[in-house]
Structure 1
Amino acid sequence: MRTQSGLQRARHLVLMPLLGLVPWSLSFADDLLNQAESFVQQGNPLQAFQLLDAQESTRAGDPAFDEAMGRAAFAAHQYTRAVMAWERLVATQPDNAVAQLELARSLHAVGDRKGVLALSEQARARAIPVDAALSIDQFLVSYDRMGHEGRSTWKGHIDVTLARDTNVNAGPDLNAPALSPPGTPPWTLQPGAQAQRASYAALLGNVRGRHVLDSRWSLIGAATAEVRGHSTAGKPYDSDQLDVTAGVAYRVERHEWMLSAQCATYRLDGDTLRNIGGVLGEWIYRIDGFRQWDTFLQVQGLHYPTQGLRDARRTVGGTSYIHVLRNGSLFYAGLYAGHETPRATGVESLGHDLAGLRGGVQWAISTQWAAFTHLNYERRHYGAADPFFGVARRDRQTQWVLGVSWLPAPGWRITPQWALTRNDSTLPITDYDRRIFSVTVRREF
């Protein structure tokens, strides 16, 4: 009995200090999370992330820690780590609506569209206002980004458009001859050469995607086909076209370089008007899932089967920046410059230098509605005086677009818009105004 009493006394002496450590460790854990939250509220999310990062290997799986880690990582723009933290929390608490919402936001930040779509409809609606209508790809069309787990991805859509065009042939108005430069020989417009009004219907299909080879290399490709038919006055301008692009992409952290081969054909009224072949190089710097720079250089050969004198080489380079705000609104801006050089000699008047600016804004009105506007400006200086008018052609073209996006159901988008184009040219036959009102119904997949 004396021996047993001695053992109990020894166990008591050993366990008491250990039991005393339990509230101390819990207090330390609470202090750690409180300190991290304090850093986030003070505007130092990176410090909070670093504080929690040192403990993640031992604390991962603790709901309180994972929640704090997810918030700190997202605020510090460490979106992949935020995804991992929120996924752990959702796995242990599948009914946690807050965790689902934050996971949706984090998946959206890394561009994992399919991961977002796998979540509940309520989480998607709250995390991404106007959902797909506010994706970066709507404005800077690019290949779908791989998910945070490095999965291959693809996307596509089908568009049906009905429109009314006030100048389907981009022709001058009836008063153009009165605007002739001094000394111009007498001339008249051929019948039908002036601006022609017409309605049209168009069907467009697009598919693009990426096949991931490893963590850095991917194969990328895209194809777009469109058929357009006009009402009676515009029948000569019925057209169809096909564009195909295929290449490779190499990604290191936030940088991605892509090199693609391009080919396209454009048919007008049943005859091939133009064929294009070339290469496109792009450098995309993704600051995060909400901001990116896209810099490109494109070299193309233009071939006109029935008008060989117009064959040319076109080189254009530029850069664009886009920023998606946390409420779903976005804005973008870009500039570009280049030149088009005729392959034939003695036709310098067909070649030109070009430079342009573009920008736009889209406002999130609600989870289903958004309004947008774009403004593009381009100036073109041609290489020699026009042989007929005796003056060098100078164009200043402005295009303004105003419209709304409506998402009546997941995967559907309806877009009515006005597009106004003004080409201010020194040649009367290339000086024109154009207005198009259109309604496009898109089905995304």
Structure 2
Amino acid sequence: MYLRIWSQRLLPWCMALGGCLSCGAWADDVVQQALALGRQGQAMQAFQLLDPLESERAGDPVFDAAMGDAAHAAGQYTRAIMARERLLAAQPGNQQAQVALGQSLQAVGDRRGVLALPSDVQAALIPVDAGHTLDQFLYSYDRQEYGGRSSLKGYVELGVGHDSNANAAPVVGDLQSPVPGTPPWTLLPEALATSGNYVVAQAGLRGRAVLNSRWSVVGTAIGATRHYAGQADRFDHTALDGTLGMAWRSERHELIASAQGSYYALDGARLRTMGGVLGEWIYRMDGFRQWGSFVQVLEVRYPMQALRNVRRSVVGTSYSHLFRNGSSAYAGLYGGREQPQASGADPLGHRLWGLRAGGQWPLAPQWVAFASADWEHRRYGGQDPFFAVTRSDRQAQLALGLSWTPAPGWRVTPQWMVTRNASALPITDYERRVFSITVRREF
């Protein structure tokens, strides 16, 4: 009798427990189905499958891990952050989950949240950038530090290389005379293409001093020197560049206005100086995609050759994309003109337009391959007085290389670069190949 009474009392509880176990098993089947959809590249379908279960299963590490992966892959970054934060609350030492959370924080541009993660997790988030080319398009002024603190970053770099044409001179020694019936012109030996090995040293700083949530002072300073061996040593040069300006940020937009200055010396003597202004507009669509546009006006001065003084005005735009696997790519276009300041110097001025593109691909945790390509067309303003033709140039440049990070803050970069300038003026038609290996220490 007592057994029958207890059986009657326990039966509802057993039925409820069985129902819960059945629901749990069904829910786990749904998680497995979502994971399978994710592996097949159907991220949105996986997210939509898990979404109705979140209110019931939030806090379950198995569910939260699957939900975070599906939401991130589907572009639902805020939902991914919520799921991954719940997973870390349950498993604080899960480094894989920490890296996953960092990726979602990067996707929404939350650099401060990324900086709160352990240093080893930060190092695992994105492979090292490919060098100055991608730095220029993606990382100028620490733009990823949205909403962050003041920062100052720098580097020193040493390298060696070989330059096949240090003076960008024509390879052939005989040029067709512009005067019909006269023999070709023969160039002096020092005017021919000169090759040589070289050593290079460079150092740079870039920083941002945050004034408040919108305004900050930004600046860069770079110095570089290159010394050639042998007969090419007369082409040793030194360059100094700097910018200083104000930046204003609001939501995804950033406006930057900077003053620029540049100094270039050849073989110990000042050859050229530049000064002007640069205006930039940066639009961050999210932590992975960014548009950048600029307007630049520079006064270019040649102290020993005032006839060559020009005003350079250029406008351009670029798009950069960081993919989820760590690869990145950029593309840009620009146009403008160099207008001579002296009367009658039209042949020295030109109109220009160009294209740029590049990318990087992680090969291993410490190795990245990169490539960039540039093409520029220049049309000059009048006939050259010696060759009686109007100069036009079509210049193409291709760079390929590897970036190796043997330790945090260190970068070793072997690079090969070829430049071909196809010019209507024989004296400026040339080809140049440069191979280099540089070692950089960042701090």
Structure-2-length-normalised TM-score = 0.81
The equivalent residue for 2:5 is none
Match of 2:97 among 99, 107, 121: 99
1:250-303, CA deviations, whole angstroms, 9 ceiling, x for partnerless residues?
Answer: 222222221111111111111111111111111112122222111111111101
Q: Compared with structure 1, are the counterparts of its residues 91 and 222 closer, same or farther at alpha carbon in structure 2 (3 Å cutoff)?
A: farther
Q: Compared with structure 1, are the counterparts of its residues 257 and 299 closer, same or farther at alpha carbon in structure 2 (3 Å cutoff)?
A: same
Match of 1:161 among 148, 159, 162: 159
Match of 1:262 among 254, 260, 263: 260
CA RMSD of aligned residues (A): 3.8
Gaps of 5+ in 2: 1-15
Match of 2:234 among 217, 220, 236: 236
Match of 2:401 among 395, 400, 403: 403
Distance in 2 separating the partners of 1:119 and 1:131: 17
Match of 1:429 among 421, 424, 427: 427
Q: Which moved more, 1:214-223 or 1:426-435?
A: 214-223
How much does 1:318 deviate?
Answer: 1.1
1:36-57, CA deviations, whole angstroms, 9 ceiling, x for partnerless residues?
Answer: x979966549997xx79x98xx
The equivalent residue for 1:275 is 273
How much does 1:180 deviate?
Answer: 4.2
Distance in 2 separating the partners of 1:423 and 1:246: 33
1:62-89, CA deviations, whole angstroms, 9 ceiling, x for partnerless residues?
Answer: 9789767755764464657755764565
Q: Compared with structure 1, are the counterparts of its residues 418 and 328 closer, same or farther at alpha carbon in structure 2 (3 Å cutoff)?
A: same
Distance in 1 separating the partners of 2:45 and 2:250: 24
The equivalent residue for 1:6 is none
The equivalent residue for 2:290 is 292
Match of 1:345 among 327, 343, 346: 343
- 1:138 to 2:156 alignment: no
Q: Which moved more, 1:209-218 or 1:136-145?
A: 136-145
The equivalent residue for 2:111 is 112
- 1:356 to 2:341 alignment: no
Secondary structure at the aligned position of 2:100 is classed as: helix
Q: Counterpart amino acid of 1:326?
A: R
Q: Given that residues 418 and 437 in structure 1 are in contact (C-alpha distance below 8 angstroms), is that contact kept between their aligned partners in structure 2?
A: yes
The equivalent residue for 1:441 is 439
Match of 2:250 among 237, 249, 252: 252
Q: Counterpart amino acid of 1:183?
A: P
Match of 1:372 among 370, 373, 380: 370
Q: Given that residues 358 and 376 in structure 1 are in contact (C-alpha distance below 8 angstroms), is that contact kept between their aligned partners in structure 2?
A: yes
Q: Counterpart amino acid of 2:223?
A: A
The equivalent residue for 1:316 is 314
Gaps of 5+ in 1: 1-19
Q: Given that residues 164 and 196 in structure 2 are in contact (C-alpha distance below 8 angstroms), is that contact kept between their aligned partners in structure 1?
A: yes
Report how many residues are paired.
420
How much does 1:203 deviate?
Answer: 0.7
Secondary structure at the aligned position of 1:151 is classed as: coil
Q: Counterpart amino acid of 2:192?
A: Q
How much does 1:90 deviate?
Answer: 3.7
Q: Percent identity?
A: 50
Q: Compared with structure 1, are the counterparts of its residues 111 and 417 closer, same or farther at alpha carbon in structure 2 (3 Å cutoff)?
A: farther
Q: Counterpart amino acid of 2:387?
A: F
Q: Given that residues 176 and 429 in structure 1 are in contact (C-alpha distance below 8 angstroms), is that contact kept between their aligned partners in structure 2?
A: no
Q: Counterpart amino acid of 1:242?
A: L
Q: Given that residues 173 and 187 in structure 2 are in contact (C-alpha distance below 8 angstroms), is that contact kept between their aligned partners in structure 1?
A: no
